[in-house]
Amino acid sequence: MGNVKHQNQQGFLIAAFLLMLSPGALLANVSGSDYPMKRVTDIFDPQSLPAEMIMTPAMVVLWITLGIFVVVTTLLVFIVIRYRRKSSDDGSEPPQIYGSTNIELAWTVIPILITVVLILVTSRTIGEIQNKVFPENALHIRLVGHQWWWEIHYPQLGIITANEIHVPMSYRDPAKARPTRIDLQSADVIHSFWVPQLAGKTDLVPNRTNKTWIEPFEPGVYFGNCAEYCGTQHANMLLRVIVHTPEDFERWVAAQKAPIPAPVTSVELEGEKLFYSTSCINCHKVGDSVAQGIFGPDLSKLMLRQTIGAGVAPLDDKHLWAWVKDPQEVKVGCLMPNMQLLDAEVDSIVAYLKTLK
């Protein structure tokens, strides 16, 4: 485990060094694909403040309940063996005990004491997390859950994106700390935000704004998922949090705000025409164009992402083509229909989509 982390850090340093040398690598680091992938969503390896704060009471609860489990199981096994039916048994009932104040007190008071300890330990941490005071420079994100993808707004920056949350890393030094606070909302049913290494679960509930925050200290790609069953593709409502160095985060922001390059080649232009003449634009938004749909993900800077379909496939030519051809093949039951496009039409729409960066 430590070794992998060390290699990751080394890989990151090498990547950072190469980045300084090669301007071509800039785009890769804007999307965060050069960063170490924290592949395992590990609750025992917190990498961000609320997750670290939860770790201590979680372990206290785990050890106390493990102790209860061991005591109860040992007693159970002992009693089952010691008092099993024997061949010499005469079939008469053993003496029945009613109204033993001592026994009743024991099984009432001890569990109450244990529960009070658990309440005190957890409520203290819950309070610390909920009453977090944010510095002025904290990043603010509004995350909206949809069946089955994540809509991400940066109100301070005027950026809208999907499925991949980009944030700057923070520092332990309070003078340099930059946490990210997240408002959670839902467009349809209840979803749940869970990136185990960064923070505990918080639900996204319709007609309500829940709040959480993250404060990671190491650059990397952190994996999360929807943690509340929300329909057919709940399992493929995946989420990535890309934690940047402050400089890379500024680069990502600049790339998001930069104008979208106009299509050039004839196939790109053909694809643009098709995109704007079919129902694509009813659901998708592209910059300030007439495409202002809000039912599907914003496609303005599509090519700066690592995946499509909320993490169901990597964003490459092959999968993008397959997605445009028939999303129902790639993600059964997703709300984007098969548009019945001919292969040549798919070619040109994909060529156009690839200009969105």
Decide whether 33 or 236 has the Cβ nearer to ligand CUA: 236
Q: Residues 6 or more apart from 299 whose CB is under 8 A from it?
A: 284, 285, 286, 291, 353, 356
Q: Which residue has the tokens 């467009």?
A: 187
Residue type, 153: H
CB of 169 to ligand CUA, least distance (A): 27
Give the tokens for residue 210: 């829940």
Dihedral of CA 209/186/149/232: which sign?
positive
CB of 313 to ligand CUA, least distance (A): 18
Q: Which of 228, 238, 189, 230 is nearest to 333 (CA)?
A: 230
CB of 38 to ligand CUA, least distance (A): 21
Interface ranges with ligand CUA (CB under 6 A): 145, 148, 191, 226, 228-230, 234, 237
Decide whether 191 or 357 has the Cβ nearer to ligand CUA: 191
Decide whether 125 or 185 has the Cβ nearer to ligand CUA: 185
CB of 291 to ligand CUA, least distance (A): 25
CB of 151 to ligand CUA, least distance (A): 12
Q: Which residue has the tokens 């003496």?
A: 95
CB of 294 to ligand CUA, least distance (A): 18
Parallel, antiparallel, or unpaired: how do β-strands 191-194 and 220-226 relate? antiparallel
In contact, 33 and 242? CB cutoff 8 Å: no
Parallel, antiparallel, or unpaired: how do β-strands 164-168 and 238-244 relate? parallel
Report residue 316 CA to chain centroid gap.
22
Decide whether 190 or 294 has the Cβ nearer to ligand CUA: 190
CB of 61 to ligand CUA, least distance (A): 25
Helix, strand counts (H, E) of the chain: 10, 13
Q: Which residue has the tokens 């960063």?
A: 35
Decide whether 166 or 191 has the Cβ nearer to ligand CUA: 191
Decide whether 13 or 235 has the Cβ nearer to ligand CUA: 235
Dihedral of CA 55/59/61/62: which sign?
positive
Decide whether 202 or 300 has the Cβ nearer to ligand CUA: 202
